[in-house]
Amino acid sequence: MTIYLAREASKVWRKVCAETTTELPLLREKWPLLLAGIVFQYIHGLAARGVHYLHRPGPLLQDLGFMALPELGQDKNYLSECTFVFIFFSFFLWTFHPFIYHSKRFYTILIWRRVLAFLVVSASSLTMYVCSILHAQISY
């Protein structure tokens, strides 16, 4: 059994090396876009924390979604965190599976570039909203 595992380990190592040599040129080519996406996410996080700090709670706005799925409460806030961690790490590990498994070929760098670009586009309207709230708070 150990001979079989050793033989498979060398195949996996060879696959990881081949994928790494393929991904590194893509990373060298696309690093400015990846860095811009990461920096934008950082700025978005800072702005969201600023608005959260300045926010004064008002009355809850009732809607159909809130009635269908009410707030879980402080005692069950771990459910949200566990769900997010599970989904995020599952996606993170999935993007690196071409380094190990032989399946349809895609490039990890290109997937992460697309994910960050989607996050930038999605969060840009929210960031503009956050900036307008901060501007309104500062002008008073």
* For the chain, percent of residues with pLDDT exceeding 70: 82
- pLDDT tens, residue by residue, 45-79: 887 788 778 777 777 667 777 777 777 778 888 88
pLDDT at residue 105 is higher than 80: no
Q: How far apart are CA 100 and CA 98, in angstroms?
A: 5
Average pLDDT over the chain, rounded to an integer: 77
- pLDDT tens, residue by residue, 113-132: 888 888 887 777 777 776 77
CA dihedral 43, 45, 51, 55 (to 10 degrees): -170
pLDDT band at 43 (very low <50, low <70, confident <90, very high): confident
The helix (H) or strand (E) run that includes residue 11 is helix 2-54
Nearest partner of 44 among 106, 129, 114, 113, judged by Cα: 129
Query: What's residue 58's pLDDT?
Result: 74
pLDDT band at 1 (very low <50, low <70, confident <90, very high): very low
Length of the chain: 140
